[in-house]
Structure 1
Amino acid sequence: MPHKPFIRTLRAQWLGQQLRELREQRGMTLKLVSEHLQRDMSALGRYERAEWPIRRGDVVALLDLYGFHEAGERDRLLRLAEEVWRTDRWDEDYGDVVDASFIDFPWLESKAEQVCSYHAMLVPGLFQLREYAELVIRCVEGPKATEEKVLRWVDLRMQRQHVLDDRSNTKVESIIDESALRRQVGSATVMRAQLDHIVQLMQHPNVQVRVLPSRVVLHPGVDGSFWLFKMPEPYPAVGYLENLAGQLYVESPKSKRFVDTYDRLREAALDPRESAKLIGTIAEELQ
């Protein structure tokens, strides 16, 4: 009976990425590592690409070879190695890693062929100007947030926006609810600049924005905002949700619901030309 193919889970992809980065930081080739560990070079490459599940013992051997002995980070990588087959409970099992390191979300953005999202309340973070982003982050973090923490999160948000560069291979497509565009964050000057910025970004060849008009009362996005990362073949799509309970990554086959919902929202939204016109009208109405 033929073996079922290994599902390229997020855990396997993340672990492979970390192992590849450690190897490259040490200036080692796959050939050199395979000779040291007496492993097949093609197998090590498949581990890094998440094509095969890597055994915990092999991860230990690699970390030893790379001289990676930091206890906390080492334990996390070994924990991933033990559970590379899992696709669930990221928010419960890895919340401390995700929140503290801010690795996964930017990593998914950089690896995806297309980043799709629906936003019901605010302008998406990838499109936010610094002034808009700072106001949002200060509100979300609350009065106990230190100035250092707020500015750090603002800087991280700005750094993520490199995926919008014309030279980027990542396609970014967002559907924004009209109410989010009319919700004034900061002064009218800040909001006008934010709306004008979105229209300017729409000129980038890899960026597409569609507005879901307020006249569409019932639509598939009534459950709220979400992200969808369409990964290159053969990696499956990944859905992402964030709320007060934490961050949730949804993998195949459950992520198909995100794909279907996004496609239906896209059909209900205005096309890019009509969307740009509506955004311009909303900006002009600001006093």
Structure 2
Amino acid sequence: MERQNVLTKADAPEVTAVLSESGLRRMVGSAKIMRCQLEHLAKLAEQPNIHLHVAPFRCRAVAALAYPFIRFRVPAANANTPALEFVFVEQLTNGDYLDSPNEVEEYSVLWSGLLGAALDPVESRELLLFIAAEFE
């Protein structure tokens, strides 16, 4: 539970995530567990520091949906140091951290396309709750 508090504490980090509708509908556990998890995500999405987007089935295909990755941006500690930007790419048996400017830029372009194709946070939250209700 301590890890969950990171997102809701006073100095919580800014988090933006894009989830695929297929991942939200894939049954993991019971219908009750699915409903509770989706309702929990919808509740988290109410936090001002959490920006949750859903890439619905109807959105145009975006290459980023096929490549799970996490893009990190750590603000600069002071005016004399640059922000730290890197990407974590998931693979079947391990993951890689990419920090070269070219690689980070490529994933930044993928990220922009993904955000452009996904629903906005309000529509995403509504879809989360709609899907959760289907697990009644």
TM-score range, shorter chain: 0.7 to 0.9
Rounded to whole Å, the distance in 1 between the matches of 2:113 and 2:11 is 27
Runs of 4+ aligned structure 1 residues displaced above 2 Å come to: 158-163
Q: Give 1:217 deviation, angstroms.
A: 4.4
Q: How does 1:245-284 map to 2 (within 5 A)?
A: 245-253=93-101, 254-284=103-133
Q: Kindly indicate whether the alpha-carbon contact (under 8 Å) linking 1:177 and 1:213 is maintained by their aligned counterparts in 2.
A: yes
Deviation at 1:242, TM superposition (A): 1.9
Name the CA distance, whole Å, in 1 between partners of 2:48 and 2:25. Answer: 26
Counterpart mapping for 1:55-94 below 5 A: none
Contact 1:175/1:212 (<8 A) preserved: yes
Structure of higher RCO (CA pairs closer than 8 Å, 6+ residues apart): 2
CA distance in 2, matches of 1:179, 1:245: 22
Q: TM-score, normalised by structure 2?
A: 0.87
Partners of 1:168 and 1:258 in 2: how far apart?
A: 27
Question: Residue type of the partner of 1:286?
Answer: F
For 1:283, the aligned partner's letter is A
Answer with 159-168 or 201-210: which moved more.
Answer: 159-168
1:237 aligned to 2:85? yes
Aligned counterpart, 1:207: 50
Question: Higher mean Cα deviation, 158-167 or 185-194?
Answer: 158-167
**Structure 1: distance between partners of 2:93 and 2:38:** 30
What's the offset of the Cα at 1:257? Answer: 1.3
> Could you tell me which residue of structure 1 aligns to residue 6 of structure 2?
163
Q: Kindly, what percent of the aligned residue pairs are identical?
A: 36
Aligned partners of 2:129 and 2:62: how far apart in 1?
A: 24
Q: How many residues align?
A: 130
* Deviation of the 1:204 alpha carbon: 1.1
1:264 partner letter:
G
Letter in 2 for 1:221: A
Once the two structures are superposed, what CA deviation does each residue of 1:32-56 show, in whole Å capped at 9, x if it has no partner?
xxxxxxxxxxxxxxxxxxxxxxxxx
More helix by share: 1
Which has the higher Rg, Structure 1 or Structure 2?
1
Query: Which residue number in structure 1 is paired with residue 40 of structure 2?
Result: 197
Deviates more, 1:217-226 or 1:266-275: 217-226
For 1:85-104, what per-residue CA distance to the aligned partner results, in whole angstroms no more than 9, with x for missing partners?
xxxxxxxxxxxxxxxxxxxx
* TM-score under structure 1 length normalisation: 0.43
**How big is the shift at 1:223?**
2.8
CA RMSD across the alignment: 1.5
